[in-house]
Amino acid sequence: MTVNGWFQIGFFLLVIFLVTKPLGVFMKRVFSGEKTFLDPALRPVERVVYRLTGVDEKHEMRWTEYATAMLLFSGVSMALLYLIERTQKWLPFNPQKFGNVEPGLAFGTAASFTTNTNWQAYSGESMMSYLTQMAGLAYHNFASAAVGIVLAIVVIRGIARRETDKLGNFWVDTTRCLLWVLLPICLVSSLVLVSQGVVQNLRPYTTVQLLEPQNVQVTGADGKTTTQTVTQQVIAQGPVASQEAIKEFGTNGGGFFGANSAHPFENPTPLTNFLQLILIFAIPSGLTYTLGRMTGSQRHGWAVWAAMAFLFSAGVTTAYWAEARGNPLLAGTDQRVGALQPGGNMEGKEVRFGIANSALFATVTTDASCGAINGQHDSFTPLGGMVPLINIMLGEVVFGGVGAGLYGIIVFVILAVFIAGLMVGRTPEYLGKKIESYDVKMAMLAILVLTLTILGFSAVAIVKPFGTSSISNPGPHGLSQVLYAYVSSTGNNGSAFGGLSVNTMWYNTSTAAAQLLGRFFMIIPVLAIAGSLAKKKTVPESAGTFPVTGGLFAGLLVSTILIVGALTFFPALSLGPILEHLLMHAGKAF
C-alpha cells in the first residue's frame, strides 16, 4: 500500500461526495416536473414522443399498474433483443459477417441485458455485429438503467406522499429519465472518452502484420499439439465509446470487448479509468440526495449516504490491503513496492492501473450493480476476491446500481426501523409513516428471493456434473467460481469471477433464470411497499420515535445489512474464499 494509492482512493470518494448534491437536485427537479435548463430543448421532443405513443402525461398509476407497465416494457424489449441476435446474420452493420447467435446464448444475453445484469458468456468482438451492439445491447443499457432509476423514484414518492394510491406514470418517468438524465451526460462522456483514445467507428476489423512473428501451440481436433507461426493480427474495433459511457453511467457493465475495461480500446488511460469510476457511482450517490429532498428530510438522505460510504471504505480497504500484501506462496519473490515494480499481487491486473486502481475498480463495480472490470477477480488473493463477492451478497446497496441500490437499501431501512421499534416496544415509524407487518413481510420477501435463488442454483451446480464440469480449479476456489456466477447473476451485477466455462446450456439457462428472478421478483415486493407507504397517514414525531437522521441510525443500518449478509452467506464463504485463504497460508494452492 502506498500514499499515492490511498490518495487516489480518497480523491475518488471526495469527487463522489461533491457530485451528489447537484446531480441529486437535478434528478429531483426532473422527476417532480419542475423546470430545468434543458427544458427548452427537450420538452418539445417529450411532447412529440407522447403524441406518437398515445401517452397521457397527466395520468398517474397505482403500484400494480406501474408494475404491469414495467413488466410489459421489459418483456417486449427482451423479445426484440432476442430477435436481433437470432437474425443478425441477415441484418446490416455486420462487416465481419458474424452468424446468428445460438438460441441458448441469445436467450441468456437477452435476459441479461434486459435485467441490467450484462452477464456475458461470450466475447463481443467475436460474436456480436455492430447493429446488435448498438440497437440491441446499447439500447438495453439505456432502457434497463432508466427502469431502475424510475423504480427508485416511485419508492421515494411512496415515502413522501400520503393517503394516495397514485405513484406517477411509468411511461412519463422513463421518457424523462432517458431524455434529461441519461442521454445528455452519456453524450458528453462519450466525447471525452473519444478524446482520450476510446474507439468509435463503423469500420471492418483491420488485419495487420506482426513486427515479430509468434510461435504458438495449437491443439487439433484429434488431440495432437502442433506449433504454428502467427504473422498477422486482427484488430477489432467499432462503436465502442458510445456504449462505454452508458455501460458505466447506467451501471450495466457489459463491454464491447471480452476484456471489458481492461482493454485499451475501452479504457486507455488513467483519466478514462477515473471517469468510468465516477460514472458508476454518480447516479446511485445522487439518488440519496434526491431521497432527502423529495421526502423533506435531507439529513436522512445524508445518513443513508454515510452508511453507504462507510461500507464502501471498509470494502476497498480490505481489497487494497489483501492485494498489496502479495501472495505468500511465491516464496523468494520480491513483492515489495519499488521504483521499477508496483509490488503486491499483480496477477490479472493491468500495469497501467496498478493495485490501488484495480482494487478500487473491483470494489466500485460490485458495490454498484455494474460488473465492468479492469482486472480479473479470479486472480485476486482469496480475501481480495472475497470483497467483490460480499459486496454483491449484501444486495449491492453500497451506493448500488442506478435506482436498484436505493430501493434495495430502503428495504434494509425498513428492517432497521422495525428492529429499533422492537427494542423500544412500540410501532416502528419511518419519516412519519408507521411500518406495519405488511411492509416488513414484503421487505423480507425481497431479501429471501435473492437468497434462495443464489444458494439454490449454486447447490445444484456444485453437485451435478453439468455444473462441476465447467470449473477450472478444484477445491474452495472452484466453489467460489460457481458461487460468484449465481451471486453476480441474481444481484444483476454481471461480472464474472473468471475460470468458469459458462457458455453451456445449464449455465446459460440457469443464470438467465437467476437474473430474471433477481430483478423482477425483488421489484414487485418493493413496489408493493411503495404503494403501502403512499396510502398511510403521517404521524407526528414523539419522544419514542427512533430518529433516522443521525449516526445512530446509520450505525444500525450498517449493522442490519452486515448481520443479514453474514447470517445468510457466511457458511458458503467459509467453504470458499476463507478456506482458500487459510490453505494459502498453509502452503497449498488450487
pLDDT digit string, tens, across residues 267-302: 999 999 999 999 999 999 999 999 999 999 999 999
| Spatial distance between the Cα atoms of 444 and 440, rounded to a whole number of angstroms | 6
Q: Which residue has the cell 426501523?
A: 417
Can you tell me the mean pLDDT for 556-574? 88
Q: Provide the CA 84 distance to its chain's centre, in angstroms.
A: 24
Give yes or no for residue 565 having a pLDDT over 80.
no
Question: Reduced to 3 states, what is the DSSP secondary structure of residue 269?
Answer: coil
Cβ 347 vs Cβ 382: under 8 Å? no
Sorting pLDDT into bands at 50, 70 and 90, what band is 44? very high
- Percent over 70 (pLDDT), the chain: 99
Cβ 45 vs Cβ 145: under 8 Å? no
Give the global pTM. 0.92
CB atoms within 10 A of CB 571: 10
Can you tell me the mean pLDDT for 465-471? 88
Cβ 532 vs Cβ 442: under 8 Å? yes
Question: What does pLDDT average to over the chain?
Answer: 90
Q: What is the pLDDT of residue 590?
A: 62
Provide φ and ψ at 434, rounded to 5°. Answer: -75, 130
pLDDT digit string, tens, across residues 64-105: 999 999 999 999 999 999 999 999 999 999 999 999 999 988
Type of residue numbered 246: I
Range with the poorest average pLDDT among 142-151, 340-349, 546-555: 340-349
Residue 74 cell numbers, joined: 421489459
Can you tell me the mean pLDDT for 234-242? 92
